[in-house]
Structure 1
């Protein structure tokens, strides 16, 4: 599990464009990957031995050099067993093949997991909002995000929220955050669109939108967008089978960044609105992928 988790952390660092010297906290990573801090600590130690991170006593871990490295070049497994189990459960849920409720004994036998693996996967699923533990018996899986219509609805909510966030009176996008976002987009345009995992692609999009919304200074905008991002993962992963549209998305992200850095928030808000509208239009083109 350590190598797989280390690979996921590395992809998170690269996909988010984190600059050298950025502080990496175990607590944030534990919440992001729905695991305890102990395996996170082991993965961070491994990345430190590989030169990706540096460790400073009593201060923690900092990004050293991850721009030109990958899980493969470091001899790490790109995804661990729990990721495979996660995607199998996700596909079965999307196809309506899971009983409701599903007992842990059923899930353990069906997917051939250990108790620890199943706890890790269910913890991640619960955090993303598409399953919850039933009192005294098993797990219930939400029907909310299993259709193309429901995914489009999440984008319509974002269309109402995100452009407005860029117009908040206290809006300020700091240069370091903008630089990280730009580096992540350029990295994709230079080839990572085709090579990054679905996890990494989804994470990069999430990080971009949460970064520019977080700069509004209004925590209610950011919390709403984060909740939406957690529950839309299922169909977002499937939509990544077709990656042709990602070049346009990257270019639109870069345009929005440029406008924000120049203080043209009204134009940036309009550009963000067009960007989300384009995404909704693209969902119609990939509908067969989402419905299969």
Structure 2
């Protein structure tokens, strides 16, 4: 049986419970609407609906003229379900990135054998084979006749890197113009929470892996609402192929506030049904992002 999608109130309720765990609140703690609405960056009405859901679930109790209080603690293993796409882009073994980065920096030839890598990295054949298969699956490598492997030109060329963003500018805005585009408010709300998580990050720097995966999840979810499987498949392929470049380009970087704020604005346009305006905004967003990334990438390609 297909699992029923969570409502916005249920999603926010999960986030409230995560807040309880993160701050180690105790039973009897005053859970304030105003405070949570600021933390989660939503209005008080959806927060109130989330509180009512938690009251019905036994987590909160409402006291007359006082507000809501914590009635019981959530499970310590509570994990708020995201969009379900995270495992679609699982992180690769670090050796994969070492191999790819050495190639991009000119330390490794485009064509090589298993033995070349075994001798270079002093690893067992099984570890190298598993890394090569994983990179082949992600589209980084092609297997040649015999025992050699070769990096695909797509991920090693500054021209191709720029073209990948241009390709995204062509297909992603058009996805919003598809006649079959369906606004899924639950998925949009989950995306919103993900972006707010990044903005609320207490760390000054964020990892390239986290930002890449969050961005992929965001853009693929929006395109998926078009109902056009060809547009979605094309975007997924591009995202697989640009992962190594993105990790090199970003490294550790400050919280990308402008990127997150633009994502949130795009979500608002979609939620309001302003799809034509959303399409134009997405195109300009991708154009700005491309210029930013390409400027940083100049150092990578020399």
Q: TM over 0.5, yes or no? A: yes
CA separation of 1:188 and 1:155: change in aligned 2, threshold 3 A? same
Cα offset, 1:242, TM superposition: 6.3
Cα offset, 1:278, TM superposition: 0.4
CA-based RMSD of the aligned residues comes to: 2.8
Q: After superposition, where does 1:1-292 map in structure 2 within 5 Å?
A: 52=77, 64-65=78-79, 83-191=93-201, 194-241=204-251, 243-244=253-254, 246-292=256-302
Determine which structure has more spread, i.e. the larger CA radius of gyration. Answer: 2
CA separation of 1:236 and 1:118: change in aligned 2, threshold 3 A? same
Cα offset, 1:285, TM superposition: 3.2
In 2, are the aligned partners of 1:172 and 1:215 still within 8 Å (CA)?
yes
Question: Residues of 1 paired with 2:204 and 2:178: CA distance?
Answer: 36
In 2, are the aligned partners of 1:100 and 1:141 still within 8 Å (CA)?
yes
User: Structure 2: where are the runs of 5+ without partners?
Assistant: 1-10, 15-74, 82-89
In 1, are the aligned partners of 2:206 and 2:252 still within 8 Å (CA)?
no
Hey, which bits of structure 1, 4+ residues long, moved more than 6 A? none
CA separation of 1:19 and 1:168: change in aligned 2, threshold 3 A? farther
Question: Residues of 1 paired with 2:254 and 2:263: CA distance?
Answer: 16
Aligned residues: 225
Question: Residues of 2 paired with 1:256 and 1:103: CA distance?
Answer: 46
SS where residue 180 of structure 2 aligns? coil
- Relative to the length of structure 2, the TM-score reads 0.67
Question: Residues of 1 paired with 2:112 and 2:13: CA distance?
Answer: 43
Cα offset, 1:150, TM superposition: 1.9
User: Structure 1: where are the runs of 5+ without partners?
Assistant: 1-16, 21-49, 53-63, 68-78
